[in-house]
Structure 1
């Protein structure tokens, strides 16, 4: 299936008086802003749908069996969201009330899930320092493990959680050697390893390996279907059969049962089949933009181009007087003189993400042409800011 039949279109064209094109919009806030591709809509409409909880939905079964085979796990389960999948994984692994997980201090699970592991699962978390490449120091990780202590003051470590690719670290791909060492450490102490694999397909493409080469080092994994793969919603949770059996119960308790999953499952299976191959295009476009940031004159941006491995670019501003919020506002508006300078207005949507970081994300709605538009707008904003600064002096 070619790009024309699966691409969702996020970039839009706004028109001025008389229908003359005036403004192009490039949305880099997240993969989830991309519109559904026609092929995905068609697959959803034609899906065979039955009651899923009883195991009667054939489309859901097909997706789960296909995903289990792809990730070389015993079984898989469709879950409405990644946040729910992560919480289910913790609940299914940590069934005793003195349980503890070890998670990265900059992980999505730790920062952006409203403390769900404590709030809803009654599981304590301890953090390991997230290194710039998304990994942990293994000695520090080992020092966090509480296992076999006779002292009743300590919780018992049950689960190590990793994130691949790493969101806040700019889509960094976890090295296979690191995953192998984490698994060996977990096996030594009788712990399980869980991967928040929201973008693990990006990791597989970046490393040039099948996803099972990555997931062989963990006991369970989640894979988001609605990010780079472009499905409408949903996540696959995969692992041992006993784990998935417990996950089904946890999903039910959390209100995650979708009575008729078939339409969502059809979209998910199509995306796993057809959309993985085009992720490299997102990676190339992200690297092109990162290099343009680094080359910008005036040198307004700080970006580690070598760290841009997949579809996320995280960067900061060298100029203290320009806040990330103001920069994103300027990028999202058509400035004075812009149409005359660029031949059209360009709105590029991104937002301040974490601390002073600005994040931009490439997805199936953003083409190489859109990337060049974003570069033009970035260069225009930088030059206009410098002009305004010099005038104010």
Structure 2
């Protein structure tokens, strides 16, 4: 599936990413990661040089290269480049394969390792029309989550070389992840993989239908105030809010009608499609969204 020598089951994607960093790096080492990558924003941070991320979730190759430190006793040693595919903060965008190859080539030139936070790598592979192994071969290690789009109750997998996985396995024990009950959870993850492709393709289709439907339901005079991102959709829909409409306002109205969404940041609402959301559910969301638009249509000056 990944084309790697070995893998271990872990409790969460955060644990998988932490184990990867621990296996690749030593005390005094540093990673390069995007400023809006999950590893930096939502995993309590690490010793990292952060780089701006564009709307597609990528970091500029030249920015990565400029961030690689020269070997100097006054500085940490750059050891690892971390990517995220698909990119959560960019709205589930899949990083292009050619971009991954460029990062891999740069890392090899400088003797660095590459880790992919692939919590939703299955979504990326389907969107790009490639195998997961085509993405994974551009990195030394990959983490994939079983409990997001795949629908398992809990768990992730971390893969890499045998040597890498043995290091990660030892650290996993120290972090409390060497649990004897893991087999039950891993079995659920195995079941999730059986229907993964059809489930994710359905999620992508539902997300595209939802984004398009939201934009159709938004009248012209409000399109500058609220719009759904349609480009590069996988299983997420981001609503961009401005001109008197706040993400909290959208979230509160939708929740009052039984639709749970997330205030993503100061200007955006995130809606995630998953195995438990049907096409009928999408139609309900569109109906509730239309009700929201009707409730504000005469009160927003744009």
Q: TM-score, normalised by structure 1?
A: 0.73
8 Å contact 2:229–2:237 — kept in the other structure?
no
Check if 1:379 corresponds to 2:290. yes
8 Å contact 2:85–2:93 — kept in the other structure?
yes
Select 1:303's aligned residue among 228, 233, 246.
Answer: 228
8 Å contact 2:94–2:232 — kept in the other structure?
no
Local SS of the residue matching 1:349? coil
Per-residue CA shift, 1:204-261, capped at 9, x if unaligned? 1111221101101000000000000001100000000000000011101111111121
Select 1:154's aligned residue among 71, 75, 85.
Answer: 75
Distance 1:260 1:332 in 2: 36
Query: Unmatched 5+ residue regions in structure 1?
Result: 1-69, 118-123, 335-346
Distance 2:195 2:283 in 1: 26
Distance 1:221 1:162 in 2: 10
Residue number in structure 2 paired with 1:80: 11
Residue number in structure 2 paired with 1:42: none
Local SS of the residue matching 2:9? strand
Q: Highest Rg: 1 or 2?
A: 1
Distance 1:229 1:304 in 2: 23
Specify which structure has the bigger relative contact order, considering alpha-carbon pairs within 8 angstroms and separated by 6 or more residues. Answer: 1
Local SS of the residue matching 2:80? strand
Local SS of the residue matching 1:252? helix
- 1:1-393 equivalences under 5 Å are 70-95=1-26, 97-115=27-45, 117=46, 124-147=47-70, 149=71, 151-295=72-216, 296-297=218-219, 298-299=222-223, 300-308=225-233, 310-320=234-244, 322-334=245-257, 347-387=258-298, 389=299
Instruction: Report the RMSD for the aligned CA atoms in angstroms.
Output: 1.4
Q: TM-score, normalised by structure 2?
A: 0.95
Number of equivalences: 297
Per-residue CA shift, 1:60-81, capped at 9, x if unaligned? xxxxxxxxxx100000000011
8 Å contact 1:165–1:198 — kept in the other structure?
yes
Give the superposition deviation at 1:372.
1.1
Give the superposition deviation at 1:190.
0.3
Distance 1:88 1:361 in 2: 27
Runs of 4+ displaced beyond 6 Å? none
